[in-house]
Amino acid sequence: MNTTKNIIKSPRKEEKKEFKINPKVWIVTAAVLLVALIASLLFDQFYKRTLVTIEGDKYYQEDLAYYIYGIESTYDYYDQMFGGQYWDMVVDQNTGATTRDMAMQEAINSSLFTEILYRDASSNGYSLTIEEKATVAENVDTLLAGQMPEAVIKKNDFTEGYLTDVLSKTTLVNRYRQDIIDALDIDDEGIKAEIDFEEYRQYDIEYIFI
């Protein structure tokens, strides 16, 4: 009688291979990442988008931050009324421009108006009076002391020097502009006498896009 022996062989254990990464590879990888980070920072610093150019002087978004903040504050009120949809509403069907685009253009126009008139005023010998300088300093202190939210100050980098520069320009421009208006030879009473107020009523109209 033949007997058959069944021999069960246990599976051979696979040997685990350890892969060692050369320390030089880590050093090279870290160096590449560091170079990429520095390059991105340099690109942001040296290739900023120019928003306004006046007589060869370039102005970037941070230069116009105060004007942008002023426009944003006004439009944020309407945005709350429309449940957070006002900023992206299309205001020009032909170009597809939104409220956001319109607000940016308003900020640019405001900064252009101020900067150009400021340069013209300075060239005509205008400068801030002692009283005006004191008022500017007081207004800057008020803004930084709490009238302007801390988050806004940090976001826009509103330093004392920056705010002083902007408010000094707007203060001088306002006086210069008013002096020009006052110097015009306009007969206000004569104009009023020729107008029938019942026929030419003034209506203040505000458009709300829905």
Decide if 45 is inside a domain.
no
| Model confidence at 13: pLDDT above 60 | no
Going by C-alpha positions, the residue among 195, 148, 187, 141 that lies closest to residue 164 is: 141
Q: Say how many domains are in the chain.
A: 1
Decide if 21 is inside a domain.
no
Q: Which of 105-109, 164-168, 170-174, 192-196 has the lowest mean pLDDT?
A: 192-196
Decide if 2 is inside a domain.
no
Question: pLDDT tens digits for 16-26?
Answer: 555 555 555 45
Question: pLDDT tens digits for 137-185?
Answer: 999 999 999 888 898 899 899 999 999 999 999 999 999 999 999 898 8
**pLDDT tier, 46 (very low <50, low <70, confident <90, very high otherwise):** very low
Decide if 83 is inside a domain.
yes
Going by C-alpha positions, the residue among 169, 160, 114 that lies closest to residue 138 is: 160
For the packed helices 65-81 and 160-183, what is the interaxial angle rounded to 10 degrees?
A: 90
29: left (phi over 0), alpha (psi -120 to 50) or beta: alpha
Structural domain containing residue 125: 61-185
pTM of the model: 0.67
Decide if 178 is inside a domain.
yes
Decide if 3 is inside a domain.
no
Decide if 81 is inside a domain.
yes
Going by C-alpha positions, the residue among 26, 51, 150, 186 that lies closest to residue 107 is: 51
Average pLDDT, the chain: 80
Decide if 167 is inside a domain.
yes
